[in-house]
Chains A and B, each alone.
Chain A
Amino acid sequence: MADDATAKNVIPTGSAGAGGKSPEAVKAAAPAATRRSFLASMSWLGLGWVAFTAGTGAALTALGRFMFPNVLFEPPQSFKAGLPNEYSLGVDERWKEKYRVWIIRTEEGFFALSGECTHLGCTPNYFTSEAKFKCPCHGSGFYAAGGKEKIGINFEGPAPRPLERFRIALTDDGQIVVDKSQKFQQEKGEWIDPESFLKI
């Protein structure tokens, strides 16, 4: 309060003082006062703009962040797929609807093939008789037989690369576990990675 009062007093004193002086003195004092007040007003103006820009930027950033949900009601990225002896040789579709994954058993073991078309992301259908995965959206085809090197390779339609595979392993209780957060791409030579294949 006391500070306020002094601050209020300070400003008028300057101009009142100038008013009391002779006209010459006012002329002489005026440029100095103008420069000082000009600089002061400039720095306040600058500060104001900086604060305004920062505030607007922060608000827009917060607004953008608002559009990214923190909690998703989606199936988890990793799931247990049961015991190996529950699977017979070939393509198994039991997890396709929920997790979009085919578990494929070959003579040597298991791998998890992604059900997401590498063209623009539809889910291909599995056709047993033709031994292929065929995408309903634009007709991409992927081999569904021919061993672990061949299954999932694209051979027709616009898909630019083979279907991806996911990390597959055994849990302590002997179940197969699939982790979709780690993927293996054939065109990057990742299908030879031991984590992409479960030897049984």
Chain B
Amino acid sequence: MSKIKDFQEYVSKSQVWRSIFRVGVPTTDRKRALAVLGNVFLHLHPVKVRTSGIRLKYTWCMGGISFFLFLVLSLTGLLLMFYYRPTGEYAYPDIVDLGEQVSLGLMRELHRWAAHLMVITVWLHMFRVFMTGSYKPPREFNWGVGVLLLIFTLLLSFTGYLLPWDQLAIWAITVGGNMARATPFAGYEGPGASLLSIGDIRLVHAGDDARFALLGGRFVGTNALLRFYVLHCVGIPIVAGALMAVHFWRVRKDGGISGPL
């Protein structure tokens, strides 16, 4: 018995141990709070949460689940990137191989299901915030951040949709991309676009409008595939990640999760 105690003492007094766990087991509330604040991972979560804030009936945990799914998507997406090549020649066969040749062929399924789920949970989270009136001052700003997060979630979904490079993907993005033709002024069929012309020459046409910039061409081709890939795997996740940091920060600065009305 004392041998074990000696050993525990030896370990907990060693330099390695003390360099990692700088204080002992926190025994008071104050020490617990300090332990949370002193740890980079733990400090992301508030030290104190109101009871109503963790009531499942109140939050549905929809924001939390959305964030969890974002982490799942980042991880599974990162793993998919080891096998997926965003070119006209390889994209579709690589997608097929991800299911048939790669061990643990369900990585793609995980990514896909998590993606569908995330879109649903983000909407439900928004619905909850609306129904509990949590958008009211001082939380209006965070509602705005949330709207941006919703848009970026949908954009992730939209850009990811093209990557399998099958018929469904190509035509869905053709249809979606064509909506950009109707952008006011910047789309060649949009309101005001015909005003931007010099004599007979249209300044905004199919070869230089918003849709052209989105697709990198006049129709959905390999330029569009590469563009969507870069946006999907790098651009949008970075922006969405930064917005999430702001979102969570504001939840705390606005006084924590709102209470029941």
Seen from chain A, the residues whose Cβ lies within 8 Å of a Cβ on chain B are: 64, 67-69, 72-74, 120-122, 136-137
B213 at the interface (CB under 8 A from A): yes
A32 nearest CB across to chain B (Å): 48
**Cβ of B152 to closest chain A Cβ, rounded Å:** 18
Q: Which of B174, B175, B217 contacts A74 (CB 8 A)?
A: B217
Is B45 an interface residue, CB under 8 A from the partner? no
**Which residues from 200 to 238 on chain B have a C-beta closer than 8 Å to any C-beta of chain A?**
208, 212-213, 216-219, 221-223
A114 to B222, CA, bound (A): 22
A121→B179 CA distance, assembly (Å): 10
Shortest beta-carbon contacts, A-B, top 6? A120-B175, A121-B178, A120-B178, A67-B213, A121-B174, A122-B171
B13 to chain A, nearest CB (A): 57
Given A121-B174, A122-B175: A69 in contact with B221 (beta carbons within 8 A): no
Known contacts being A68-B212, A68-B213, A69-B217, is A121 close to B222, with CB within 8 Å?
no
Residues in B neighbouring A64, C-beta threshold 8 A = 213
Known interface pairs A69-B217, A72-B223; 10 further A-B residue pairs with C-beta atoms within 8 A, sorted by A's residue number: A69-B223, A73-B222, A74-B217, A74-B218, A74-B219, A120-B179, A121-B175, A122-B171, A122-B175, A137-B171
Question: Chain A nearest CB: distance from B8 CB in Å?
Answer: 60
Pairwise interchain contact B174-A120, C-beta atoms closer than 8 A:
yes
Cross-chain contact B171 with A69 (CB below 8 angstroms): no
CB neighbours (8 Å) of A122 from chain B are 171, 174-175
Please classify the interface of chain B as helix (H, G, I), strand (E, B), loop, or mixed, using the class held by over half of its residues.
helix
Specify which chain A residues have a CB less than 8 angstroms from the CB of B175 in the assembled complex.
120-122, 137
| Residues of chain A contacted by B208 (CB below 8 angstroms) | 68
Q: How far is the CB of A117 from chain B (nearest CB, A)?
A: 9
Instruction: List 26 contacting pairs A-B, 8 Å CB cutoff, sorted by A.
Output: A64-B213, A67-B213, A68-B208, A68-B212, A68-B213, A69-B223, A72-B217, A72-B218, A72-B223, A73-B221, A73-B222, A74-B217, A74-B219, A74-B221, A120-B174, A120-B175, A120-B179, A121-B174, A121-B175, A121-B177, A121-B178, A122-B171, A122-B174, A122-B175, A137-B171, A137-B175
Q: How far is the CA of A67 from the CA of B186 in the complex (A)?
A: 14
Point out the residue from B177, B178, B216, B219 that lies within 8 Å of A69, measured CB to CB: B216
Tell me which residues across on chain A come within 8 A of B213, comparing CB atoms: 64, 67-68
Complex interface: chain A residues within 8 A of B174 (CB): 120-122
